[in-house]
Amino acid sequence: MRIDICAVGKLRAGPEKALLDDYVSRTEAAGRGIGITALNLKEVEEKRRLEPAPLKESEAALLRAALPRGAILVALDERGRAEPSEAFAKRLGRWRDEGQSDIAFIIGGAAGLAPALREEAAHVLAFGPMTWPHMLVRVMLAEQIYRAVTILAGHPYHRA
């Protein structure tokens, strides 16, 4: 199963990028033995000079174009459901066991996700009710994906 993080904006070199790259490498190494073959970051152009509604729609079109065909779509949004890491791991494991080949997580830009794109998602996930910087959310998500993979693999990284 391949996992894609489709996000608005380009993550520049710096500590966030270094952390993301580390979690991608760790996820791919830990995931090989349990059927998770790749964690990819797909970044789309951030549109800054538009009003919020057209901005969200423009970014939604770019995100849709980046999605793998047939992927299960998971939107990250503060209105989504927060869940424990174990439940997140169980969900990923269930999708893997059902034979899903692609899971795509979408992260909107600074204005958030277009409502229509959020509604298309099979699941809407939140990292709590707080608003997080969209560049940092991709790192937080990569860590949770890595944590989920280690839970599924029986690795001691997750100590709950």
Which region, left, alpha or beta, applies to residue 124 given φ > 0 means left and ψ of -120 to 50 means alpha? Answer: beta
Residue 127 annotated as part of some ligand binding site? yes
Residue 128 annotated as part of some ligand binding site? yes
Tell me the torsion sign for CA atoms 12, 92, 70, 29: positive
Residue 95 annotated as part of some ligand binding site? no
Structure tokens at 29: 């190494």
> Which residues, other chains included, contact 88 with Cβ-Cβ below 8 Å and sequence gap of 6+?
125, 144, 147, 148
Residue 135 annotated as part of some ligand binding site? no
Distance CA(35)–CA(97), nearest Å, equals 9
Distance CA(60)–CA(56), nearest Å, equals 6
Distance CA(55)–CA(133), nearest Å, equals 17
Residue 37 annotated as part of some ligand binding site? no
Residue 84 annotated as part of some ligand binding site? no
Binding site membership for S-adenosyl-L-methionine: which residues?
76, 108, 127-132
Binding site membership: which residues?
76, 108, 127-132
